[in-house]
Amino acid sequence: MSAPDPTLMPVGDVPAPAAASITRPGASRRTQLEEAVLPPLVALLLAAVVGDVLILTFGQSPGAVYRLLLDGTWGNAYGFGQVLYKATTLVFTGLAVALGLRAGLFNIGAESQLAAGGFCAALIGLVLPAGFPALLCLPVYILAAAIGGGAVGAVPGVLKARFGAHEVIVTIMLNFIVLALLNYLTSTRLHVPDTLHTAEIRSGRLPRLADLWPAFQGSAANVVIVLAILAMVGLWWFLFRTRRGFELRAVGLQPHAAEYGGIDVGGVTWRALALSGAIAGIGGLNYVLGYKHYYEEGFATGAGFLGIAVALVGRSHPLGIGLAALLFATLSQGGLAVNALVPKQMVDVLQAVVILAVATSVPEVRRLLRMRRGGGDR
Amino acid sequence: MQKYALSSALTSNAVTLPPSRPGTSFHRIMRKLLLLVGVLLVVHVALLFAHPSGAEKPPAGNTVDVGVVFDLGGRGDKSFNDGAYLGAERAQKELGVRVRFIEPGEGSDRESGLRLLAAEGMDLVIGVGFIFTDDLTQLAKEYPTTKFAGVDYSVATDKDGKVIPPPSNLAALKFREEQGSYLVGALAALVGKSKKVGFVGGMDSPLIQKFEAGYEAGVHQVCPDCTVLAQYAGVTPEAFRNPGKGKEIALAQYQQGANVIFHASGSTGLGVFEAARQTNKLAIGVDADQYAEAPGYVLTSMVKGVDNAVYDAIKKTKDGTFTGGIYQYGLAEQGVGYIYDKNNAKLIPPDVHARLEQLRQDIVAGRISVPSTK
């Protein structure tokens, strides 16, 4: 495995389904671009048309609603700040899910991993004394959040590597267990009376964007967005420029071939899920360090599940994930802005249409589905 | 369907059929997708210009603007969110105010929703649920000329237990749930006749303990040697959404000899009604009139007048008499009460009803003071 050359991957004796790789070997750049961009584009347009029809059934003008949606998000600094804030969390959960997908694993647990990361960071925040040097704080918080999320991610990873337990089932079930546990700890031990949140952390709060550019006044956007961008770059580097990343992608494309090539498939599996959980966990800092400075019950409800959509629409590529996160954040914040004209559920339906359309058109998903149907015994 | 089948065929044949060669099925699919993009784009742009005749323009003119942000549970909870909606809707019809509603999707949307409304220059912004407490306090300071109101706003106390008053442009709408619970407690004991009555709470928390404390006091007022079988469905907010657990607890309490159970447990109470129907006994609803959940088995409901409180706040804003501070809605203000109408009149004997009305007057007149803690 010394020469990470992707063209070596689909060798002749590999079962046929594996040949549907993420970037088609030997395809021209234009073909690759078409394959990467067209399916999501179809999905988005389909969602837009369904949205038009829905808006018309509410007796509103689609043009007016979409304009209001854009005005309330990209049209003013506050709305844009909110989009950035929501996109920051979604980048982390999207990257987490994408890392799993690249390794052929479907991590449905980002929801609880995100919460666990935020919870651990808030716990550390309660322990660290006030006035702890800010420069030392940040790494400590990142480590705490990564350990929190990573531990939740490692459990399904180890269970899969050791016993072949299906990661989809385990991550879904762990969502319930972990969220209920955090819920219990918060509401019985750690909460401030009459609230659902812990006490505020005493040191290491991060500045909001509004502190740097006053135009963002009031919005929750904060400098954790820099961490999100670093995570995008870092994950790209890891996946496409390191040996570990290559091994991970090889396992994702064809585990049998990867094993034949000398890769420790079990090791890659549990490390991938643990790293995936750690990335989702760091996303919890967006709320805990940057926004409210405490852990609150359900602080990012749905952001973990939306991360799956972000990863799929973003084609599991860090750059695509950044764009998809902005899209879903825009829809989410825009939903509030147009709430006067159409019910909130309309935006939920739009999101669902995007997800469905992408899920049926993206090769990765079709490949995963086929693996489950065909040789699901790996 | 055709497209999908084609592309599956493509990917499974990919090894023998180099996919990049022009004219292969791969290229045909991409061309089809490109065509699809074109068609969808045209349809979308065409629809953008559609303007249905009924497209709503908000009524123009100089009137009061009110914004309401619901809790995450949102509308349709048959409880305080729906109550707030009813009150605001009534104000819209009767007072001619303009009302905008926002339903948040996640935690950070609560502040965002309030802020959107405040920034738009609403005269009154209402947050529904105790969870808005922090956000409302902060926004009331940032927008001192806008009026704010919080349903179930939890008033902070300092270290010595003294109340920290909310900002002067913020009204805390609080309810004396213990007073309404007191009356249904007396009713449960008088109708049940078995020396035992039940109580099912949702999340074990000071708010729900307030219901229990009032209920127990009411039971003992009319029947000093009665026992109250009290149980909670859990210690987390999940306990408000667990009908299975509610049914389990209720069945056990009916088995132990209770004939009437009062629930203060959100949708967990649906299980209590189910148990009442199954064992042919009685249950008491909460927040709104829950008779329809199990007709014939709902003795009454302890109602919380969120609608009246919201309507009041809007009316005061319109009249220019709105002031911040803590508003307590009890029996005297008709902020809490119990249902007595044609549906359940046959379940409540006239002398029992007379006794309850007497108790109500005693509480309103201050002759009885109802405890709010155990």
Domain boundaries of chain A, sorted by first residue: 28-373
CA distance B209 to chain A (A): 12
Averaged pLDDT for residues B8-34: 55
- pLDDT over 70 at A366, yes or no: no
Averaged pLDDT for residues A195-224: 87
The per-residue pLDDT for A35 is 72
Relative to beta strand B298-304, strand B282-287 is: parallel
Quote the mean pLDDT of chain B: 85
Higher-confidence residue: B131 or A2? B131
The per-residue pLDDT for A378 is 39
Looking at the structure, tell me whether residues B256 and B148 fall in a common domain: no
The per-residue pLDDT for B22 is 53
pLDDT-wise least confident of A10-14, B137-141, B286-290: A10-14
Higher-confidence residue: A303 or A354? A303
The per-residue pLDDT for B240 is 84
The per-residue pLDDT for B56 is 52
Looking at the structure, tell me whether residues B160 and B297 fall in a common domain: no
Averaged pLDDT for residues A294-310: 89
Q: In this prediction, what percent of chain A has a pLDDT beyond 70?
A: 88
Looking at the structure, tell me whether residues B123 and B217 fall in a common domain: no
CA A145 vs CA A92, A115, A229, B17, B357: distances in Å: 12, 9, 17, 47, 57
The per-residue pLDDT for A81 is 93
Contact B15 A12 (CB under 8 A): yes
The per-residue pLDDT for A38 is 78
Question: Per-residue confidence at B4, pLDDT binned at 50, 70, 90?
Answer: very low
A24 touches chain B (CB under 8 A): yes
Highest mean pLDDT among A66-75, A126-135, B62-71, B278-287: B278-287
Number of domains in chain B: 3
Looking at the structure, tell me whether residues B240 and B263 fall in a common domain: yes
> Which of B47, B53, B110, B174 would best serve as a mutation to test chain A binding (most A beta carbons within 10 A)?
B47
Closest by Cβ to B52, choosing from A56, A287, A297: A56
What is the edge-to-edge ordering of all strands in the sheet holding B325-329?
A: B98-102, B65-69, B124-128, B147-151, B170-175, B325-329
**Which residue of chain A has the CA closest to B50?**
A61
Looking at the structure, tell me whether residues B157 and B245 fall in a common domain: no
List pLDDT tens digits, range A5-49. 444 444 333 333 333 344 445 567 777 777 777 777 888 888 888
- pLDDT over 60 at B82, yes or no: yes
- pLDDT over 70 at A108, yes or no: yes
Contact B112 A341 (CB under 8 A): no
Q: Which CATH number among 1.10.600, 2.60.120, 2.30.30, 1.10.3470 corresponds to the domain A28-373?
A: 1.10.3470
Question: Per-residue confidence at A376, pLDDT binned at 50, 70, 90?
Answer: very low
CA separation for the pair A97, B172 (Å, rounded): 43
CA separation for the pair A142, A149 (Å, rounded): 11
Question: Per-residue confidence at B300, pLDDT binned at 50, 70, 90?
Answer: very high
B4 vs A contacts (CB less than 8 Å): 360
Structural tokens at position A39: 């399916």
Contact A287 B108 (CB under 8 A): yes
| Phi, psi (deg, nearest 5) at residue B149 | -140, 140
Higher-confidence residue: A270 or A297? A270
A215 touches chain B (CB under 8 A): no
Looking at the structure, tell me whether residues B140 and B207 fall in a common domain: no
Asked if residue B16 is part of any domain, the answer here is: yes
Scan residues 223-242 of A and list those with Cβ closer than 8 Å to B.
Answer: none
Beta-strand ranges (E) seen in B86-237 are 98-102, 124-128, 147-151, 170-175, 196-203, 227-234
**Which residue of chain A has the CA closest to B114?**
A336
Question: Per-residue confidence at B8, pLDDT binned at 50, 70, 90?
Answer: very low
Looking at the structure, tell me whether residues B258 and B113 fall in a common domain: no
Scan residues 344-363 of A and list those with Cβ closer than 8 Å to B.
Answer: 344, 347-348, 360, 363
- pLDDT over 90 at B163, yes or no: no
| Phi, psi (deg, nearest 5) at residue A199 | -70, 165
The per-residue pLDDT for A365 is 62
Contact A336 B112 (CB under 8 A): yes
| Phi, psi (deg, nearest 5) at residue B284 | -120, 130
Contact B237 A196 (CB under 8 A): yes
- pLDDT over 70 at B11, yes or no: no
The per-residue pLDDT for A7 is 41
Our CA dihedral for B243, B248, B249, B254, rounded to 10 degrees, sits at 120
Asked if residue B370 is part of any domain, the answer here is: no
Looking at the structure, tell me whether residues B162 and B225 fall in a common domain: no
The per-residue pLDDT for B275 is 96
In angstroms, the first-to-last Cα distance of chain A is 22
Looking at the structure, tell me whether residues B185 and B167 fall in a common domain: no
Question: Per-residue confidence at B15, pLDDT binned at 50, 70, 90?
Answer: very low
Per the CB < 8 A criterion, the answer to whether B212 and B373 are in contact is: no
B131 touches chain A (CB under 8 A): yes
Q: How far is C-alpha B159 from the chain's CA centre?
A: 31
Scan residues 180-209 of A and list those with Cβ closer than 8 Å to B.
Answer: 180, 183-184, 187-188, 193-196
Question: Per-residue confidence at A136, pLDDT binned at 50, 70, 90?
Answer: confident
B100 touches chain A (CB under 8 A): yes
Which of B175, B206, B237 corresponds to the end of one domain?
B175
Per the CB < 8 A criterion, the answer to whether B269 and B263 are in contact is: yes
A298 touches chain B (CB under 8 A): yes
Q: In this prediction, what percent of chain A has a pLDDT beyond 90?
A: 49
Closest by Cβ to A196, choosing from B19, B112, B131: B131
Which structural domain, as residue segments, surrounds residue B1?
Answer: 1-31
Contact B12 A19 (CB under 8 A): yes
pLDDT-wise least confident of A228-232, A362-366, B180-184, B285-289: A362-366
CA distance A59 to chain B (A): 5
- pLDDT over 50 at B206, yes or no: yes
Closest by Cβ to B48, choosing from A63, A188, A296: A63
The per-residue pLDDT for A10 is 40
Contact A60 B14 (CB under 8 A): no
Total CB pairs under 8 A between chain A and B: 180
| Phi, psi (deg, nearest 5) at residue B295 | -55, 130
Asked if residue B327 is part of any domain, the answer here is: no
A19 vs B contacts (CB less than 8 Å): 11-12, 14-15
Our CA dihedral for A155, A156, A160, A164, rounded to 10 degrees, sits at 110
Averaged pLDDT for residues A287-311: 89
pLDDT-wise least confident of A20-34, A323-337, A349-363, B241-255: A20-34
Nearest in space to B241 (alpha carbons), one of B102, B82, B79: B79
Closest by Cβ to B100, choosing from A19, A340, A370: A340
Asked if residue B328 is part of any domain, the answer here is: no
Q: How far is C-alpha B168 from the chain's CA centre?
A: 26
CA separation for the pair A351, A336 (Å, rounded): 14
Structural tokens at position A197: 């949140």
Contact A332 B106 (CB under 8 A): yes
Averaged pLDDT for residues A76-94: 94
The per-residue pLDDT for B7 is 39
Per the CB < 8 A criterion, the answer to whether B326 and B173 are in contact is: no
Q: How far is C-alpha B333 from the chain's CA centre?
A: 20
Looking at the structure, tell me whether residues B206 and B346 fall in a common domain: yes
Contact A291 B108 (CB under 8 A): yes
Q: In this prediction, what percent of chain B has a pLDDT beyond 70?
A: 89
Averaged pLDDT for residues A307-332: 92
Burial degree of B181 (CB within 10 A; 0-12, 13-18, 19+): buried
A214 touches chain B (CB under 8 A): no
Looking at the structure, tell me whether residues B165 and B199 fall in a common domain: no
CA distance A84 to chain B (A): 12
A265 touches chain B (CB under 8 A): no
CA distance B302 to chain A (A): 22
The per-residue pLDDT for B18 is 44
Question: Per-residue confidence at B131, pLDDT binned at 50, 70, 90?
Answer: confident
| Amino acid identity, position A201 | I
Averaged pLDDT for residues B4-28: 47
The per-residue pLDDT for A14 is 37
Looking at the structure, tell me whether residues B236 and B359 fall in a common domain: yes
Sequence-distant contacts of A45-50: CB under 8 A, at least 24 apart: A45/B37, A45/B40, A45/B41, A45/B44, A46/A353, A46/A357, A46/B40, A47/A350, A47/A353, A47/A354, A47/A357, A48/B40, A48/B44, A49/B40, A49/B43, A49/B44, A49/B47, A50/A349, A50/A350, A50/A353
Closest by Cβ to A332, choosing from B101, B103, B105: B105
CA distance A53 to chain B (A): 8
> Which of A286, A344, A362 would best serve as a mutation to test chain B binding (most B beta carbons within 10 A)?
A344
The CATH number assigned to the domain holding B87 equals: 3.40.50.2300
The per-residue pLDDT for B186 is 95
The per-residue pLDDT for B176 is 92
The per-residue pLDDT for A362 is 65
Asked if residue B218 is part of any domain, the answer here is: yes
Question: Per-residue confidence at A72, pLDDT binned at 50, 70, 90?
Answer: confident
Measured N-to-C along each axis, helices A77-102 and A318-337 cross at an angle, to the nearest 10 degrees, of: 140
The per-residue pLDDT for A259 is 93
